[in-house]
A and B are shown apart, each in its own frame.
Chain A
């Protein structure tokens, strides 16, 4: 119970920190501008402007979410250590893992808020131009949250381990790799005799598969999305985030503060 109070205190403070972060404000404005641009681009198309604006809109919300997650997330823990704001905090009866979890929750909460905000703006935008809003679209927006959350967890983990630059590079690499991890599987499936196949298989298992959270194709073409898929993908995201946070806590447990 006391542990929860402390975690919540850190969460609240981090939420406040993130909401007052200029990166967030900039990216939100950027997203709105991009929606406008997506609308303009969709009018250039011959046919299916609704598809194009939805494709672009969904890509933008996720991408903006990911950018915020990376660039605000990489300094989340490291910044506290570096600017030594962490010293008075950790001199209180708080455990290291409580601190990491609180930071993650506060930050991901703020990112989530922005992400939901962007999606609401997108939905209003789509409604305004007369696009039919389907349940698939809502489901897709929901499941994409996990992609953003996973990148948040990646950034937070790296930020407890290393410097912001390295964190940014690592997070971006893993994000990109995560988007293509299905390609590794396809490669393995089509080339069963591939050299270093075992290594690739292990890499495939370890990498986050962000394609699980990409139902944008289904949403735009109104394909059926089974609820079970949503549940499994959400659980996958949750468990992966938990693993990353555990690694972060573990690494942070005995870290000497400068």
Chain B
């Protein structure tokens, strides 16, 4: 694999200054990402976290206030870098007066593709995104989902080495999502790099090799799926209190989550230190342990946890 990463940002910062008397807002702050070629990277964050701004900085839709973004080792401000990039915007809008075929043709021309290549690829792409037979239809008659599919097709017209998808799963029905997942894994198998943003964690979890979590313009966590999920693991302990031992009080003190169900406590123990404490109680005969189970967090829980921790 190539040593130069597909995407690399160095202290990327974007501060918007809307007006003379308005407060500047920091959309992206000191962002460092490095995505090697061939990786599928999920960029996760709440709405307004700075995902779209980051993508804009990558595509030179906006200029960074500080730091820089590199695509394949070259500054993203250079338009040449975009020759190898495919981009699907969030809620894509295209010229309503065009037909699907015309749009793909236009996109192909901007990449300087020849007529034959344009024709061949647009036919192939329309088929792969499930828009066969809509080639001559005007885009004003397209539904949200169809536009999303067409947007993907136009992003792939240049057979890009790097595909940047902004909220690709938004606006798609479950079938569309499944199709998209398939397309993305297809892109991965072809050795392309995929950078996608999402606030839908479940899908990200299924597609991405690695994810980064962005909150209020800062990257708060980044890593391989497994790392990120096991880094913050907890244990679920089922236990019974012995001789009226006030386990609930302990839980309150330690800030463990606890549920009581017919004398049976289910306690979420956040880390190994805490688990040791539980074992100590058990050895002292204050509680009786029924089961200890290491529980992996879902990405959503991990995300919320990260955000919570960051806030604190």
Asked whether any CB of A lies within 8 Å of a CB of B in the complex, the reply is yes
Instruction: Give complex CA distance A5, B62 in Å.
Output: 24
Whether, in the assembled complex, B154 has its beta carbon less than 8 Å from a beta carbon of chain A, the answer is: yes
Whether, in the assembled complex, A199 has its beta carbon less than 8 Å from a beta carbon of chain B, the answer is: no
Would B98 and A16 count as touching, CB distance under 8 A?
yes
Whether, in the assembled complex, A221 has its beta carbon less than 8 Å from a beta carbon of chain B, the answer is: no
Kindly list chain A residues whose C-beta atoms are within 8 Å of the C-beta of B110. Answer: 6, 9-10, 89, 92-94
Would B97 and A91 count as touching, CB distance under 8 A?
no
Kindly list chain B residues whose C-beta atoms are within 8 Å of the C-beta of A17. Answer: 95, 97
Kindly list chain A residues whose C-beta atoms are within 8 Å of the C-beta of B151. Answer: 88
Which A residues from 67 to 104 make CB contacts under 8 A with B? Answer: 83-85, 87-95
Whether, in the assembled complex, B206 has its beta carbon less than 8 Å from a beta carbon of chain A, the answer is: no
Indicate whether A93 sits within 8 Å of B95 (C-beta atoms), given known contacts A6-B109, A9-B109: no
Which A residues from 14 to 46 make CB contacts under 8 A with B? Answer: 16-17, 20
What distance in Å separates the Cβ of A87 from its nearest Cβ neighbour in chain B?
4
Q: Which B residue's beta carbon lies closest to that of A10?
A: B110
A-B Cβ contacts below 8 A, count: 80
Kindly list chain B residues whose C-beta atoms are within 8 Å of the C-beta of A87. Answer: 61, 87, 89, 92-93
What distance in Å separates the Cβ of A33 from its nearest Cβ neighbour in chain B?
25
Whether, in the assembled complex, A202 has its beta carbon less than 8 Å from a beta carbon of chain B, the answer is: no
Kindly list chain A residues whose C-beta atoms are within 8 Å of the C-beta of B79. Answer: 93-95
Interface of B is mostly: mixed
Would B56 and A256 count as touching, CB distance under 8 A?
yes
What distance in Å separates the Cβ of A21 from its nearest Cβ neighbour in chain B?
8
What distance in Å separates the Cβ of A178 from its nearest Cβ neighbour in chain B?
31
Q: Which A residue's beta carbon lies closest to that of B110?
A: A92
Instruction: Give complex CA distance A87, B63 in Å.
Output: 14
Would B87 and A88 count as touching, CB distance under 8 A?
yes
Whether, in the assembled complex, B279 has its beta carbon less than 8 Å from a beta carbon of chain A, the answer is: no
What 0/1 readout, one digit per residue, does chain B (53-71) give for beta carbons within 8 Å of chain A? 0001001111100000000
Would B155 and A88 count as touching, CB distance under 8 A?
yes
Whether, in the assembled complex, A189 has its beta carbon less than 8 Å from a beta carbon of chain B, the answer is: no
Which B residues from 199 to 220 make CB contacts under 8 A with A? Answer: none
What distance in Å separates the Cβ of A249 from its nearest Cβ neighbour in chain B?
14
Q: Which A residue's beta carbon lies closest to that of B57?
A: A256
Kindly list chain B residues whose C-beta atoms are within 8 Å of the C-beta of A84. Answer: 89, 91-93
Kindly list chain A residues whose C-beta atoms are within 8 Å of the C-beta of B310. Answer: none
Whether, in the assembled complex, A13 has its beta carbon less than 8 Å from a beta carbon of chain B, the answer is: yes
Whether, in the assembled complex, B82 has its beta carbon less than 8 Å from a beta carbon of chain A, the answer is: yes
Instruction: Give complex CA distance A20, B139 in Å.
Output: 14
Whether, in the assembled complex, B85 has its beta carbon less than 8 Å from a beta carbon of chain A, the answer is: yes
What distance in Å separates the Cβ of A81 from its nearest Cβ neighbour in chain B?
10
Whether, in the assembled complex, A2 has its beta carbon less than 8 Å from a beta carbon of chain B, the answer is: yes
Would A257 and B62 count as touching, CB distance under 8 A?
yes
Q: Chain A residues in contact with chain B, CB under 8 A?
A: 2, 5-6, 8-10, 12-13, 16-17, 20, 83-85, 87-95, 254, 256-257
Q: List 7 A-B contacts (CB under 8 A).
A: A5-B112, A12-B106, A16-B98, A87-B92, A92-B111, A93-B83, A93-B111
Q: Chain B residues in contact with chain A, CB under 8 A?
A: 16, 56, 59-63, 79-83, 85-89, 91-95, 97-98, 102, 106-107, 109-112, 151, 154-155, 158, 164
